Amino acid sequence: MASPTSAPGRWRAAGAPADEGGRRRPLRRDGAWPLLFAGPLVTGIAVFYLWPVVQTAWFSLTTSEVFGGSTFSGLDNYRELFADPLLYRSLANTLVYTGVVLLGIPIALYLASLLNLPGLRFASFYRVLYFLPYVAMPTAVAMVWRVIYNGDFGLVNHVLGLVGIEGPYWISTPGAAILAVSVVGLWSSLGFSMIVVAAGLKNIPPEYYEAAELDGASRFRQFRSITVPLLAPTIFFLLVVTVIASFQLFDLLYAILGNANPALSQSMSLVYFFYQEGFVSNDKGYAAAIAMVIFAIIGLTTALQFRLQRRWAQGG
């Protein structure tokens, strides 16, 4: 039997696979090439994602001084935060916004199914039309919707006045302001959801619908029994990214309400609460604690979604 060193200049292991002639092939040595290719990506993730999380976690355990610097304070920021009613109010507002925006997923599913009907003219134009709000700048969108929501001459109150309803000052009334922002968020995200659902619809074989039609199934039955089940991975993807994006609500809220709005204290989101404490009150340690709570909520929510999706896929 040949020894591992019988072939000069080539190393062979006893467990190496054999070639067609029965000879053992040497194990492939990639050396440092995998590290060379993965290094820039791993470095970028570590520097721009992991290190800021670690740094924020440390800042959340400190108290900012008036003239700069900080001192270690342990869990004092978290104790103060969980006793702060603004945390629960901003969390409730964020959940309201998330719930309204999530309504866009079934709406997008229905509209994308309509646009996927055979023989529909100008379907591509309609898709572009729905997608435009998603790529528009949040500030420009906010300026338009501020006019629409205006309590004196806005379009919404004008339409309500036609049926005898006196609308409120939407963006300056507590309770109504967060609903107004949520509707804008739903309108803005609808195009993205439609594009994703439309891509999923392209992967459903048309033979399924043809067979269902031969069996006498109505369009609604085809939608319920074929389209929705086969789009389950797409719906799950939209659910995850929509929840994550909704919990990061800031720019749209800031642009629509402004920083001098009387309803702001009752309508701020979690991220706006973080901005208020970190950049207006200049309490970096307290703001870092808020950021870590937001990070934990998003992580736990995403893990719960994956857990429920796995149980759903396994049939309970």
Q: Computed from CA positions of residues 109, 111, 112, 114, in that sequence, does the dihedral angle turn out positive or negative?
A: positive
53/199 same-domain check: no
Is 256 part of any domain? yes
Task: Give how far Cα 151 sits from Cα of 79, 123, 175, 188, Å.
Answer: 40, 36, 15, 22
Is 161 part of any domain? yes
Report the CATH number at residue 251: 1.10.3720.10
Is 18 part of any domain? no
84/62 same-domain check: no
Of the chain, the end-to-end C-alpha distance in Å amounts to 56
56 CB neighbour count, 10 Å cutoff: 17
Is 20 part of any domain? no
144/192 same-domain check: yes
Is 233 part of any domain? yes
Q: List the alpha helices (DSSP H) in the chain.
A: 33-45, 51-59, 76-82, 85-102, 104-115, 123-135, 138-148, 155-162, 176-202, 206-214, 219-222, 228-230, 232-246, 251-257, 264-267, 270-275, 284-313
What total of structural domains would you count in the chain? 2
Packed helices 155-162 and 138-148: angle between N→C axes, nearest 10 degrees = 30
58/174 same-domain check: no
Per-residue pLDDT tens digits of the chain, which is 316 residues long: 444 444 444 444 444 455 555 566 555 566 677 778 888 888 888 888 899 999 999 999 998 776 667 788 889 999 999 999 999 999 999 999 999 999 999 999 989 888 887 777 888 888 888 888 888 888 888 999 999 998 888 899 999 998 988 888 899 998 899 999 999 999 999 999 999 998 898 888 888 888 988 888 888 888 888 888 889 889 999 999 999 999 999 999 999 998 888 888 899 999 999 999 998 888 889 999 999 999 999 999 999 988 887 766 554 4
Place of tokens 């995403």: 302
CA distance 116 to 223: 12
Q: What is the pTM of this model?
A: 0.83
Q: Which domain holds residue 48?
A: 34-72
Is 10 part of any domain? no
Q: Which of 21, 55, 72 is the last residue of a domain?
A: 72
Secondary structure class of 63 (helix, strand, coil):
strand
Is 122 part of any domain? yes
Place of tokens 């791993």: 42
CA distance 223 to 110: 9
Q: Which of 49, 72, 95 is the last residue of a domain?
A: 72
306 CB neighbour count, 10 Å cutoff: 12
Is 278 part of any domain? yes
CA distance 213 to 209: 6
110/46 same-domain check: no
67/170 same-domain check: no
Tokens of 142: 């906010």
196/60 same-domain check: no
145/113 same-domain check: yes
Tokens of 65: 């001084």
67/82 same-domain check: no
186/243 same-domain check: yes
Nearest 5 degrees, angle CA 220-CA 224-CA 230?
135
Place of tokens 């994308």: 112
Place of tokens 């720019």: 251
User: Residue 70's beta-bridge partner residues?
Assistant: 64
50/98 same-domain check: no
Packed helices 104-115 and 176-202: angle between N→C axes, nearest 10 degrees = 40
State residue 314's pLDDT score: 54
Sorted by sequence, the CB contacts under 8 Å of residue 111 that are 6+ apart come out as 130, 190, 194
CA distance 168 to 175: 11
What b/e readout covers 154-179, taking b as 16+ CB neighbours within 10 angstroms?
Answer: bebbeeeeeeeeebbbbbbbeebbbe
Rg (alpha carbons) of the chain, rounded to whole number? 28
CA distance 136 to 133: 5
Q: Which of 14, 45, 72 is the last residue of a domain?
A: 72
State residue 26's pLDDT score: 56
187/269 same-domain check: yes
